Amino acid sequence: MNWLKNAWYVAAFANELDGARVVARKLLGTAVVMLRHSDGRIAALEDTCPHRLMPLSAGRRVGDELQCGYHGMRFDVNGACTLAPGQTHIPPKACVRSFPLVQRHGLLWIWMGSQDRADARLIPDIRWNEHPEWTSSRGYHHVEVDFQLAIDNLMDLGHESWVHLRTIGQGEEECIPNYPVKVTVRGEGLIHAHREMPNIEAPPFFAMILNHSGRIDRWQTAVSLSPSICMTDVGIYPVDTAPEEAFRGHVLHLLTPESATTTHYFWAFARNKRLVDEELTQAVYQAVSQTFDEDAVILKMQQSQVEKYGAAVPRVAMRVDEAPIRTRRLLEALVKRETEDPGFIYRPELMIDDTTPPLAMAQARGAQ
């Protein structure tokens, strides 16, 4: 598969390893097993015994080691074999590949490429998932789609007016594609697609959040940082209030390919208001979860159509495709460089949130 190998991908939420749990997950086509050592260190190993290829996750955890459930071989968090029942000599090849794994912003980040290239300083700043000025509602979706189509979907928010009418979409009369998008590119892999929707009807989810059913100003910036991070910066406020007072959401969409046709979708809706309102945290979780369930249905159908027709999409590019297509091109260029130049290392932009509040809307209101 044409995945960028030398990059950090999200492998799990950090709390998934709480309580001595062992998490098995296929990432970029490779079976991986993760655990937290009793001293706090975290480890990711290939989930395959070097003897007869049994998944280590199908065996058991013994202290800080994994024991294969077939012949009892044990491996430490570095992948070294510490016990081979029936013999004292341990062949050098009886070891398991380990992957760099780093905890940051409440997430576990894995490096599936060359181990000596892994540099934790290349992990982008997505602090909103775990930050005192933001509160997150978090979830996970397993999506049956090529991860590139999942990214397309997040960079094309025009679909909200048809797919997400029950939560975040305006209806057809004020449909989202009617409002132009300004696309900007920075560095080798960062794209912002910004759109402002002044004086529109509040969709149900935003009416609930604002406790306001009248008209609102809304902005949305779809952000993509290659290879696998998307973020939607959303701002909403009643038309008679100031943009600086906006209820703001930073919606993290952290996509990690599982296989060519399936994707892990870790998400978090971080908000800047009503931070200790647990009921709201739950309500946001429910609404976002429902919204992404709707995406999952569409994406699965699209994947199956792409396979059926053996054709790439979009077959014909429409205006809403500008940001998705430019995002694809950036990633394709990175993959090409990595493939052709063994010395190439991608250095992503680390700060992805430079979107300012909607100046155009603020200025328009000031001029009234």
Mask of contacts with Fe ion, 326-365, x by CB under 5 A? Answer: ----------------------------------------
Q: How far is the CB of 183 from Fe ion (least distance, A)?
A: 18
**Is the CB of 169 or the CB of 358 nearer to Fe ion?**
169
CB of 173 to Fe ion, least distance (A): 20
What is the amino acid identity at position 361? M
Is residue 163 within 8 Å of residue 295, measured between CB atoms?
Answer: yes
Compute the least distance from the CB of residue 178 to Fe ion, in Å: 17
> What is the spatial distance between Cα 124 and Cα 223, in angstroms, rounded to a whole number?
13
Number of residues counted as binding Fe ion (CB under 5 A): 1
Binding residues for Fe ion restricted to 112-171, rule: CB under 5 A = none
Nearer to Fe ion, 146 or 295 (CB): 295
Site string for Fe ion, 282-321 (x = CB under 5 A): -------------x--------------------------
Query: Residue 262 is encoded by which pair of tokens?
Result: 């399936």
User: Least separation, in Å, of the C-beta of 64 and Fe ion?
Assistant: 41
CA 66/CA 78 separation, integer angstroms: 11
147-155 and 322-340 helices, crossing angle to 10°: 140
Which residue number places its CB atom closest to Fe ion?
Answer: 295
Residue nearer to Fe ion on the CB measure, 295 or 338: 295
CB of 234 to Fe ion, least distance (A): 12
Min CB(160)–Fe ion separation in Å: 6
Nearer to Fe ion, 76 or 295 (CB): 295
| Binding flag, residue 258, Fe ion (CB under 5 A) | no
Nearest CB to Fe ion, comparing residues 67 and 148: 148
Instruction: Name the residue with tokens 């952000």.
Output: 223
The residues binding Fe ion (CB under 5 A) are 295
